[in-house]
Structure 1
Amino acid sequence: MAIEVMIADDHSMVREGLKQLLELDGDILITGEASDGVECLKLLEESLPQVLLLDINMPNMNGLEVLERIKEKKIDTKVIILTVHNEVEYLLKAVEIGIDGYMLKDSDSNELKKAILSVIQGESYIQPSLIPILNSKMIERDVEKEKLNLLTKREVDVLKLMAVGSYNKEIGEKLNISERTVKNHISSIFKKIEVSDRTQAAIFAIKNNLINIF
């Protein structure tokens, strides 16, 4: 029995090419095609494919937003991100949301079929060339979290204000503490997160989602 697969990609030529490659042997059947994120979610609810091949860059709703919605709605479909993006941040985000597979579009069809079979069997499949950088980034992120956990609640408050450009006097006024105490907190923060200036501290705060940048 053929594996039912849906393709979500805003380029019709990509969808057509994938359809021809995947259906060649007869063990995979393309049951639906979507050209944007909204259409993808609509089709998923109408006909539940076993596997969804999902592009990241799509109009109306991008692939990562679609993935989040699939998880929220508990839609029982295995999701493989198929993208041109080899930036590790996209991969990290996809792994955090909960991805079954992550492949680059320059992969050959045999590897893609292997990924589809793997996720059907309950395994995850990350393109092998991406695994070393993913592992190093996840280790780096764990180290950052460990540093963050060293900070007291008051130090986190000071760091947040410092990261948005507040001076020591302003921080003291907002937190109702003396300027000297602020200086002591900043010295402790620098030591714990291993930075030497306010800019590096701000970058740390942004990377750890302590402040939003628009």
Structure 2
Amino acid sequence: MEAPGENKEIVFLLADDHSIVRQGMAILIDEIVPNAKIYQTSSSQQIVEMMKKNGVEIAIIDAHFPDGNSLHVLPQMKAENPDVKILVFTGLEEDLHVLKFIKAGASGYVSKLSDEEQIRQAISDIVHKGEYFSPLSRNLMLQLVQNPGLINPLGSLTKRELQIAEMYAEGYGNLEIANDLDIKQNTVSTIKKNIFEKLKIENLVELIDLINTHKI
């Protein structure tokens, strides 16, 4: 994105289900970008429609909404306008989630736990540079080149392994899984062993944690 001219109006969309978060972000944007026009929504379902209607150039969106997860909205936003810049502003842990949002189309990622100066920097960088990534995010992107599984380790599982992993996470035991899938119990045990080896985990607690983290 080119650096904005003094008189160029920049159209923002703030998408967060908490009004106080949107209002606080709007105040910062007004201070940093005096020529901003700001639209707001509390619903992830309205994001793409508001982009179409208002010619949004920069979207600042939460990761989770009561009506859905914005991870699946980002590709729709980029399909509607490949040039839109998307800053994810969220409470989700950066080290666990940032790579998934980058893959989905995010131009930046900043935590709601960040201090005001960092949030200001994120807004400024998105406006003037077209992206904002912290040193942690940049380091993870470099690591990703060597280890594609960083985005989602569950991607290393086969379809059957993922199915059984999810059944374990839902509380099914070996016998129930075997009966439900019409396979032998020792086959389930073998697949469980393969799952643990691929994910480099040792118990079901770790598996459940991975499922919950990466199936958002």
State the TM bucket, normalised to the shorter chain.
0.5 to 0.7
Whose Rg is larger? 1
5+ residue gaps, structure 2 = none
Cα 1:14/1:63, change in 2 over 3 Å: farther
Task: For residues 90-140 of structure 1, give each alpha carbon's deviation from its aligned partner in whole angstroms, at most 9, with x where no partner exists.
Answer: 534431320223456533757744432222xxxx43244643366568977
Unmatched runs of 5 consecutive residues or more in structure 1: 24-28
Contact 1:35 1:58 in 2 (8 A): no
TM-score calculated relative to the size of structure 1 = 0.63
Contact 2:154 2:162 in 1 (8 A): no
The aligned amino acid for 2:60 is L
SS in 2 for 1:169: helix
| Alignment equivalent of 1:117, drawn from 106, 116, 128 | 128
Contact 1:48 1:77 in 2 (8 A): no
Q: How does 1:44-123 map onto structure 2 within 5 Å? A: 44-49=51-56, 51-56=57-62, 64=70, 67-72=74-79, 74-81=80-87, 83=89, 85=91, 87-88=93-94, 89=96, 91-103=98-110, 105-107=116-118, 112-119=123-130
Paired residue for 2:188, among 173, 179, 182? 182
Aligned mates of 1:60, 1:181 — CA distance in 2: 39
Q: In structure 2, how many angstroms separate the alpha carbons of the residues matched to 1:52 and 1:181?
A: 50
Give me the CA root mean square deviation: 4.2
Q: For residues 54 and 101 of structure 1, do their structure 2 counterparts lie closer, same or farther at Cα, with a shift above 3 Å needed?
A: same
Q: Across the two proteins, how many residue pairs are aligned to each other?
A: 197
* TM-score, with structure 2 as normaliser: 0.63
Task: Give the equivalent residue in structure 1 for 2:165.
Answer: 159
Larger RCO (CA under 8 A, 6+ residues apart): 2
Contact 2:86/2:105 (<8 A) preserved: no
Q: Does 1:171 align with 2:177?
A: yes
